Amino acid sequence: MTRELTHFIGGVHVTGTSGRFADVWDPSEGVVQARVPLASTSEVEAAIANAAEAQREWGAWNPQRRARVLLRFLELIEKDTPSIARLLASEHGKTVDDAKGDIQRGVEVIEFAAGAPHLLKGEYTTGAGTGIDVYSMRQPLGVVAGITPFNFPAMIPLWKAGPALAAGNAFILKPSERDPSVPLRIGELFLEAGLPAGVLNVVNGDKEAVDAILHNERVKAVGFVGSTPIAQYIYATAAANGKRAQCFGGAKNHMIVMPDADLDQVADALIGAGYGSAGERCMAISVAVPVGAETADALAARLTERVRYLTVGPALEEGSDYGPLVTAEAKKRVEGYIQLGVDEGAELLADGRGYIVEGHENGFYLGPTLFDRVTTDMTIYREEIFGPVLIIARADDYEQALAMATDHEFGNGVSIFTRDGDAARDFSARVEVGMVGVNVPIPVPIAYHTFGGWKKSGFGDLNQHGPDAFRFYTKTKTVTSRWPSGIKEGASFVIPTMH
């Protein structure tokens, strides 16, 4: 039976009134399992008005009291993780273990955000001038919003909402309509943890809902993760409407493999980083760059052997290395890229098209695909594929490998595998990419550092989580204070100085 989903506004589930719906698929079986309402502009505006009203009380709470809500939320989501992970896997298609990792990475940011009493402290200077003290305070913006993608339906909503709520804001979450059930569950858990009703509202929708958020003057900041064209659109539209924006787009993450690297370690790392979650990760390594022909030949042989033993299967079944893609359209899009690679002359070492999982023939499955001898002018090198496709783009030497990662229009993540500390240090300093891994295949920083890419992978000067998140979700007020000593000095017509 197809479930009817709702919005979550004012602490209650609200039936959509627009008359428009989107199908939520079970990608492992290829069947529709739910319908989600797509909010109209008026529905979004009502949610924002609700949030603005609720924020007055929440913003007045002291930071420690707000942090206690986050701590209670952590207890609740830990208990509920097994069921949330299965719900997530059933709508997204990633395995249950991978779904648990999705939740855990979000939880880690909530843990960090619970340090709000410290993170919101301002600065203080006593005696800045005669009888004058200067201090600053961080205050919430008011209502802020997060527009989050399908590929991490737990992690990224928590990355956005956690610091925003801890800083005293009300939060409008517009999740992907492809897998909305986990974001709705997150809303329920925050309410159960003691968050006042209306401080976190979950509004499902498509472009109409996004535009309603971008054009509403009550929304002071917008965070987004998704494709680069939409990131650029949201960033530009938010800026034109006087809003802060942090928008993260596409990626093409390289792994540089030096001749001295342990190639068995490298091959294992590439298999996990390239094919995990069916490649539907913005931090997936999709380009292996072996340095030198001998390194490339040896790596290609190891990868070809390992790809043969990968198990693709239903998200909820144990033993699957990765599951299906999220929709039939996503599968068709990736298959199109595979054909482009063949047409443009890349060497196809493993072809995942036509992959059938017995008993689940209608699922959106695609086997692991591996290309070799890919050149930088090929479409499969230049564009983000977002599927289980790993390509080998050979480099003659270290400088060419460094240039490949630096010159690509995306600058999200990059890794280097080597035993040479000098090479690793030089690479880390010189590569024009936002997040760098040294012998680490997926260079996602831990929660108390910041996450963000460069170039067409990121728009805005403040990144996700870490201290940047609290800077983004607060405004700084600086107070210059003087208590008269009783001495009358008369009027002064020069600008004040501190001497």
Spell out the residues 6+ positions from residue 76 whose beta carbon is closer than 8 angstroms to its own. Answer: 189, 192, 193
For 80-95, the pLDDT digits (tens) are: 999 999 999 999 999 9
Task: Establish whether 247 is a catalytic residue.
Answer: no
Catalytic residue among 47, 282, 298, 315: 282
- Name the more confident of 352 and 454: 352
For 1-27, the pLDDT digits (tens) are: 789 999 999 999 999 999 999 999 999
- The two beta strands, 474-482 and 132-140, are antiparallel
Is residue 486 pLDDT above 70, yes or no? no
DSSP state string for 477-491: EEEEEE---S-----
User: For 438-443, what is the mean pLDDT?
Assistant: 92
pLDDT for the residue 381: 98
For 319-345, the pLDDT digits (tens) are: 999 999 999 999 999 999 999 999 999
pLDDT for the residue 487: 60
Q: pLDDT tier at 450 (50, 70, 90 boundaries)?
A: confident
Mean pLDDT over the full length of the chain:
95
pLDDT for the residue 133: 93
pLDDT for the residue 488: 65
Q: pLDDT tier at 497 (50, 70, 90 boundaries)?
A: low
Is the CB of residue 160 less than 8 Å from the CB of residue 39? no
Q: Which domains does the chain have, with CATH numbers?
A: 3-249+457-479 (3.40.605.10), 253-438 (3.40.309.10)
For 373-411, the pLDDT digits (tens) are: 999 999 999 999 999 999 999 999 999 999 999 999 999
pLDDT for the residue 131: 86
Q: Which residue has the tokens 């047409």?
A: 343
β-partners of residue 256 are 289, 416
Is residue 442 pLDDT above 90, yes or no? no
Is residue 492 pLDDT above 80, yes or no? no
Q: Give the integer Cα–Cα distance in Å for 85 and 70.
A: 20
Q: Give the integer Cα–Cα distance in Å for 407 and 231.
A: 21
Q: Give the integer Cα–Cα distance in Å for 274 and 459.
A: 25
DSSP state string for 206-226: SHHHHHHHHT-TTEEEEEEES
77-88: burial string, b at 16+ Cβ within 10 Å, e else: beebbeebbebb
Is residue 418 pLDDT above 80, yes or no? yes
